[in-house]
């Protein structure tokens, strides 16, 4: 008698009940700004922060968790992301103003927070209109642009730890540093309170228009890109990553469908048909050439997650 092998259980069958939604083998390439990458083994869209906290408390400890916003400064590798990918939806996107304070969910778009601040007459948050992504990602990387950053703007942030415990951190406790913070990698930002200074909505709108113009003139914002690829070296007195890349002769460099932007050479572009491997390999080639030319090792600003195509786990 021939006995057919039992079907292997999918990860989704091991996960705790939730009020939100699980999706097995959820495609990710359509939501990343690069438009590349493999699927999430399981996508979890929590109903609210309590649902997320309950999931974190009950999930199997061996299951890795990755949090995605709008995947603007992210490269998902071609084999996808093992474990559970958490996507914060509408319940985490609320924005409300009171006095000179903005309270925003971690899933709120940075641009929407800037608009709410404008309408409420809260200045000094215009920089968020030039930061693609969500507040959660902006907190994680201390996002900054056009003279502002999250360190200066943040009053407090609410996080969930790896076991679902909730804690409110002051700006000082977050420990902001250049393009990062002291918050553990396994903690999840769920909300923040930001503040600025009183200003005329008209003046704020003018500054936001100037930022939009500057971005359009200097960055390939209409291309499939992931934003700034490398951080600026902190110890080189203001020297920018793009200057090092330019000096190493990398402007316009190509690999497969990936290209170093002609417009701003600290941006990598999917010109069409690129794989995540093309983009990452091109980035590493840029790093190699910069090291050879200047002796300086650039650090990735783009967050790279997941596994290569040959490392994809099937379940």
Helix residue ranges per DSSP H, the chain: 49-58, 110-120, 135-140, 150-153, 171-174, 201-218, 241-247, 276-294
Residue 50 lies in a domain: yes
For residue 237, the model assigns a pLDDT of: 65
Do 67 and 162 have their domain in common? no
For residue 35, the model assigns a pLDDT of: 96
Do 171 and 244 have their domain in common? no
Domain final position from 75, 90, 105: 90
- Of 82, 88, 85, 96, which is closest to residue 69 (Cα–Cα)? 88
Residue 223 lies in a domain: no
Do 119 and 188 have their domain in common? yes
- Given the structure tokens 């969910």, which residue do they identify? 105
CATH number of domain containing 289: 3.90.78.10
Residue 2 lies in a domain: no
CATH number of domain containing 26: 3.30.43.10
Label residues 293-310 b or e (16+ Cβ within 10 Å = b): ebebebeebbbebbbeee
| Interior angle at CA 26, CA 21 and CA 32, nearest 5 | 110
Boundaries of domain holding 155: 93-203
pTM beyond 0.95, yes or no: no
For residue 37, the model assigns a pLDDT of: 97
Residue 313 lies in a domain: no
One pLDDT digit (tens) per residue for the chain, 315 residues = 343 343 457 899 999 999 999 999 999 999 999 999 999 999 999 999 999 999 999 999 999 999 998 999 999 999 999 999 999 999 999 999 999 999 999 999 999 999 999 999 999 999 999 999 999 999 999 998 888 999 999 999 999 999 999 999 999 999 999 888 999 999 999 999 999 999 999 999 999 999 999 999 999 988 999 989 999 987 666 789 999 999 999 999 999 999 999 999 999 999 999 999 999 999 999 999 999 999 999 999 999 999 999 766 544
Torsion sign (Cα): 205, 133, 157, 98: positive
The domain tally of the chain equals 3
Do 196 and 111 have their domain in common? yes
Residue 62 lies in a domain: yes
Helix pair 201-218, 110-120: axis angle to 10 deg: 150
> Of these residues, 179, 207, 215, 287, which one is catalytic?
179
Residue 106 lies in a domain: yes
> Of these residues, 49, 129, 181, 228, which one is catalytic?
228
Do 84 and 101 have their domain in common? no
Do 124 and 79 have their domain in common? no
Active site residue 235: no
Distances (CA, A) of 261 to 290, 311, 313: 16, 29, 33
DSSP E strands, the chain: 21-26, 40-45, 65-68, 74-76, 81-87, 95-98, 101-105, 122-123, 144-145, 148-149, 154-160, 166-170, 188-195, 197-198, 224-228, 254-255, 258-260, 267-270, 303-305
Active site residue 179: yes
Phi, psi of 158 (to 5 degrees): -100, 130
Do 78 and 125 have their domain in common? no
Q: Rounded to an integer, what distance in angstroms lies between the CA atom of residue 57 and that of residue 47?
A: 15
Residue 314 lies in a domain: no
> 225: helix, coil or strand?
strand
For residue 139, the model assigns a pLDDT of: 96
For residue 222, the model assigns a pLDDT of: 86
For residue 261, the model assigns a pLDDT of: 97
For residue 238, the model assigns a pLDDT of: 75
- Given the structure tokens 């999917």, which residue do they identify? 270
Active site residue 228: yes
Instruction: Find the length of the chain.
Output: 315
């Amino acid at each position: 008698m021939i006995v057919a092998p039992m079907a292997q259980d999918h990860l989704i069958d091991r996960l705790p009940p939730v009020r939100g939604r699980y999706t097995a083998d959820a495609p990710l390439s359509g939501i990343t700004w690069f438009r590349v990458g493999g699927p999430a083994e399981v996508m979890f869209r929590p109903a609210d922060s309590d649902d997320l906290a309950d999931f974190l408390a009950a999930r199997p400890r061996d299951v890795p968790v990755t949090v995605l916003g709008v995947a603007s400064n992210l490269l998902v590798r071609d084999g996808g992301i093992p474990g559970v990918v958490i996507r914060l939806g509408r319940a985490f996107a609320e924005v409300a103003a009171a006095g000179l304070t903005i309270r925003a969910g971690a899933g709120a778009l940075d641009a929407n927070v800037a608009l709410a601040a404008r309408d409420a007459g809260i200045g000094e948050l215009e920089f968020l209109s030039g930061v693609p992504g969500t507040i959660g990602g902006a907190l994680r990387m201390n996002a900054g642009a056009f003279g502002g950053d999250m360190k200066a703007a943040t009053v407090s942030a609410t996080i969930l730890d790896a076991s679902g415990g909730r804690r409110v951190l002051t700006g000082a406790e977050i420990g902001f540093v250049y393009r990062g913070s002291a918050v553990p990698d396994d903690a999840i930002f769920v909300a923040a309170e930001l503040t600025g200074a009183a200003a005329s909505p008209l003046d704020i709108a003018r500054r936001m228009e100037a930022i939009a113009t500057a971005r359009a003139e200097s960055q390939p914002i209409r291309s499939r890109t992931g934003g700034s690829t490398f951080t600026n070296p902190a110890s080189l007195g203001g020297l920018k990553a793009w200057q090092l890349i330019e000096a190493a002769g990398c402007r316009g460099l190509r690999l497969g469908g990936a290209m170093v932007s002609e417009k701003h050479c600290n941006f990598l572009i999917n010109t069409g048909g690129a794989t995540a491997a093309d983009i990452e390999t091109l980035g590493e080639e840029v790093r190699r050439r910069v090291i050879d030319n200047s002796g300086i090792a650039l650090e990735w600003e783009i967050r790279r997650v997941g596994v290569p195509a040959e490392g994809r786990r099937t379940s």
